[in-house]
Structure 1
Amino acid sequence: MDREAAAAAPFLAAPAPSSRRRPAADAHILSAAFLFVFSAYGAAQNLESTVNTEGDLGTVSLGILYTSFTLFAVVASPVVTRLGPKRALVVGSSGYVLFILANLVPTWYTMVPASLYLGFCASIIWVGQGTYLTSAALSHARDNSLPEGQTLGNFTGEFWGIMASTQAIGNLLSLALLRNGKDGGSVTGKNLLFVVFLGCMIVGIVLLCLLSKREEKGDNDPLCSSFGVMLKSIVAPLKDRRMILLIPLMIYIGLQHAFVWAVFTKSIVTPVLGISGVGGAMAIYGAADAVCALVTGYLTSGLHSATLIVSFGAIVQAVVLFWLLLFYSPMGGLFGAAAPLLIGALWGVGDGMLNTELNAVIGLLFKDAKEASFAQFKVWECGAVAVIFFLSPLITLQAMLILMTAGLFFAFGAFLFLTIVVDKSSGVRS
């Protein structure tokens, strides 16, 4: 019996083979899934105010969507904790499918409920994304004895680079399939385009279903649904001064995204290039954003490198804002046609840097409270987007640019103060 036990000991001591996919492979699958889903959704969002014009249905739907997004993002953290990040991603993707289906029959009775439901789904899919990607990056760093900051930067850069490229891909699909009618007023090919978008959504959802489960320990915890735990998850991050100092940059990220969607295309691109030029300008914006996000993600190694990259991104967008405020005016000729494209490219460079680094910094500083931290990000970002959608018809372009400039300087100053405080108090460095 002793000899048999000794012979069996190596087999009993050997670890059970793990069926979990490597974290890097999960990050690739997550990025590919979002590529399909948001190539369709991003282009559909850009078209809302153009193809659903009756009673401003498209614009109102987007305002409702982002208001709903903001409200539901407040409680997204406990929902994602309860579901687990993978299940939250799959459930959240259903809202995007419903939104595309509503666009095939656009009425107040289809678009408004779809927008409200998408606001809820968007809040949990984005909190789930931030949680899942951060978890995969930190697991990869631990498994391979790599620096956490650098690994998180690499994973974040890849994801946001691919996400930014959806602007180029989706708008090129719109450019290829949409046609103006003979009378110059109607648009043909819309239903075909949205059917193609629906197909992209389905492929993306299938990829999300293939993800491994990660950190789903909240699945069976009945306390996750209690009001006290929910309230704590909402309020607790606001007690951390690091989160308070990041909030201005979160708000600015929302402001500058809404500026591109609601103001740049309408007030800068359309007067020079016409509606047909919007797709091309947004494609250039998306391509510049994607390349910059990929590069800056791989240059990120911690707070010090993130500060340098955020500084450069802020300078690029400040240059664009001052150009628009002080010198820009629509003009003809080659330079006049190229100016909106150059502005879109520069804005994409700045967005790629700011958005990528903010996501990486949140994952690095709040790795023990990922769901609540990314939920806070979406609350402030989407609240700013909703404000711009409702404000843009009421104020001038100059007033909007002044608001953007003030927001950029305040956000950048708060971020610099954060890096100084964290460096001195906790020693978090690259």
Structure 2
Amino acid sequence: MDEILNNSEIQTRGHHRDDEGDEEAAAAGAGADGGATAPLLAGVAPLGYSGRRRSHAGDLHVLSAAFLFIFSAYCAAQNLQSSVNTEGDLGTVSMGILYTSFTLFAVTASPVVTWLGSKRALVVGTSGYVIFILANLVPTWYTMVPASLYLGFSASIIWVGQGTYLTSAALSHARDNNLPEGQTLGNFNGEFWGMFASTQVIGNLISLALLRDGKDGGSVTGKNLLFVVFLGCMIVGIVLMCLLSKRDEKGNTAPTHSSFGAMMKYIVAPLKDRRMILIIPLIAYSGLQAAFVWAVFTKNIVTPVLGVSGVGGAMAIYGAADAVCALVAGRLTSGLHSATSIVSVGAILHAVVLFCPMGGLLGAAVPLFIGALWGVGDGVLHTQLSALLGLLFEDVKEAAFAQWRVWQSGAIAVIFFLSPNITLQAMLILMAIALIISFGSFLLLTLVVEKPSTTRSNQFQSGANFTVHLLHQCYQQPKQHILYARAIRNQKEMKYLSVDE
């Protein structure tokens, strides 16, 4: 071993001189910049130095606040479509058209977001939500259908941009602060989805305050005032979106897709990974369960018991449970094992709602109780899906989040088109079957990911043992410190998926 190290010493002396030269050049470059960066390289920042590095947590707060304002308006408006725009099922059909459009455009959203950049994609995406709110002030087939079609396009852009932006911020924060990536993704997604779930509370409380049931079964009053208030919320959200830092890890250096075939190859790349195939059923179920609440729960469970004006109150409870659960689930996320446990809790609660008859037991409390349980499950699904996609598909995150929106929005469209044509009992059976299939597929995913990660962990441990041996040799021969430094660097560059950090 000593003989090998002696030969390595001869080979590394030249590299050592090159490294020293690079350090001297870096120091000279710092001086050429006026000495602004030299103190940072030494680990000491000068007094009053502000620097250019982004505040990753700050971007998260601004992003969450922007979505809070925009979707407080949109989610409440969406909840009311099947109850307010009832003539010819205009509201329900419009939502079905919206999510069909969303599904089609989400297929090509990833290259669009890559071309625009995630920040500009977020800003452009807000336009469709404003147009949709304006259309609800004059709800006809000529206003709602075009607005729904365009919102499908802009929604695909904003949501792929959101997933890309949030993942980039979380991973950058983890690397800059030497934090575990899985836990950081969980924390960032927990805060975002907790804030996002709060939109159901805020928007629906506004709806509860402004809407009034008409006398003798007449149309509700206060609808136009409500949508004007929603429009004001949208404007505040757009202003906040414009304040985000530009954050594009690939940025202008990303390769352009020279042909349609190359673009499609990039889009479908995640589908060649069996991990994506196994997570798609859970993605689809997340869309089914969300649309069930918006279209079926509000119309067939809440409205008959509490009236149209009571939709806001029931959905506010749903949103509060969703928000609390998202925050807690995000904090508890550290890897695939923890995600499995958290998703299992959500699946059990949804099963309770779907399989247990509660009407005779709880009476008028049914909508409130179901809303709370369903909100917990929704908070679980969104935080865990977002964190896992960011962790498992970091290299193709735009395409991965596009796949999320394709399958989720397609499932949502199915519910909106089916709900006027099938009974509540048939819908519950459909949801129960989807829950069983999606949860079973997710459990299989944990087995698929766990097996290769265990092998990589063993390989990593062998590398760590070799590094300890090199350290021992370096203490005996101090001139071999370069070998140790490079071994440490190579060890850090070894990437493997931790099942539970």
TM range, smaller chain: over 0.9
User: 1:1-80 maps to which residues of 2 (within 5 A)?
Assistant: 8=31, 11=35, 14=38, 18-80=51-113
Aligned to 2:445: 418
Change in Cα spacing, 1:254 to 1:8, as seen in structure 2 (3 Å) is closer
Q: Name the CA shift for 1:13/1:390 in 2 (closer, same or farther; >3 Å).
A: closer
Equivalent of residue 364 in structure 1, options 388, 391, 402: 391
Distance 1:222 1:51, change over 3 A: same
Alignment of 1:47-196 (within 5 A): 47-196=80-229
Match of 1:235 among 268, 287, 290: 268
Corresponding position of 1:398: 425
Partner of 2:369: 342
Contact between 2:133 and 2:231, CA under 8 Å: does it hold in 1? yes
Structure 1 partner of 2:359 = 329
1-structure distance, mates of 2:82, 2:238: 26
Q: How does 1:183-262 map to 2 (within 5 A)?
A: 183-215=216-248, 217-219=250-252, 223-224=256-257, 226-262=259-295
Structure 2: distance between partners of 1:226 and 1:38: 36
Q: Which moved more, 1:415-424 or 1:148-157?
A: 415-424
1:67 is paired with a residue whose SS is helix
What is the root-mean-square deviation of aligned Cα atoms in Å?
2.0
What is the deviation of 1:181? 3.6
Letter in 2 for 1:329: G
Structure number with greater CO (CA < 8 Å, separation at least 6) is: 1
Mapped partners of 2:169, 2:86: distance in 1: 42
Identity %: 77
8 Å contact from structure 1 (residues 178, 193) kept in 2: yes
| Structure 2 unaligned spans of 5+ | 1-27, 41-48, 455-496
C-alpha separation in 1, matches of 2:85 and 2:219: 11
**2-structure distance, mates of 1:423, 1:301:** 14
Partner of 1:271: 304
104 and 337 in structure 1: CA distance in 2 versus 1, 3 angstrom threshold: same
How far apart in 2 are the matches of 1:356 and 1:318?
19
Cα displacement (A) at 1:179: 2.3
TM-superposition CA deviations, 1:15-59 (whole Å, max 9, x none): 696434310000010000000000000011111223222322211
Residue aligned with 1:180, SS: coil
Contact 1:172 1:283 (8 Å CA) reproduced: yes
- C-alpha separation in 2, matches of 1:381 and 1:221: 27
| 1:396 Cα offset (Å) | 1.8
Larger radius of gyration: 2
User: What do the CA deviations read for 1:184-212 (whole angstroms, capped 9, x no partner)?
Assistant: 41222211111111110011011111101
Match of 2:394, SS? coil
Q: Deviations over 1:305-360 (max 9, x none)?
A: 1111111111111111111xxx33357xxx31112211111111111112211111
Residue matched to 1:351: 378
Seen in structure 2, the aligned counterparts of structure 1 residues 57 and 330 have a Cα distance that, compared at 3 Å, is farther
Q: Output the CA distance in 1 between the equivalents of 2:318 and 2:170.
A: 27
The alpha-carbon deviation at position 75 of structure 1 amounts to: 0.5
User: Match for 1:384 among 411, 421, 425?
Assistant: 411
Cα pair 2:80 2:311 within 8 Å, conserved: no
**SS of structure 1 residue aligned to 2:395:** coil
Following superposition, the deviation at residue 217 of structure 1 comes to: 3.6
| CA deviation map 1:113-138 (0-9, x unaligned) | 11100000000100000000000000
**Structure 1 residue 421, shift from structure 2 partner:** 1.1
1:252 & 1:160 partners in 2: Cα distance? 17
| Aligned counterparts of 2:374 and 2:255: Cα–Cα separation in 1 | 45
Paired letter, 2:121: A
Query: What CA distance in whole angstroms lies between the structure 2 residues aligned with 1:347 and 1:185?
Result: 30
Amino acid paired to 2:201: A
Whether the aligned pair in 1 keeps the contact of 2:170 and 2:181 (CA below 8 Å) is: yes
Distance 1:407 1:221 in 2: 38
Shift of 1:249: 0.1
Q: Is the 8 A contact 1:168 1:282 kept in 2?
A: yes
Q: CA deviation at 1:143?
A: 0.6
Amino acid at match of 1:152: L
TM-score, normalised via structure 2 length: 0.80
Query: Which residue identity lines up with residue 11 of structure 1 in the other structure?
Result: G
Counterpart of 2:333? 300
**Residue 7 (structure 1) shift:** 11
5+ residue gaps, structure 1? none
Equivalent position amino acid for 2:442 in 1: F
Q: Distance in 1 between matches of 2:218 and 2:125?
A: 36
**Number of aligned residue pairs:** 420
Which deviates more, 186-195 or 24-33? 186-195
The alignment partner of 2:35 has SS state of: helix
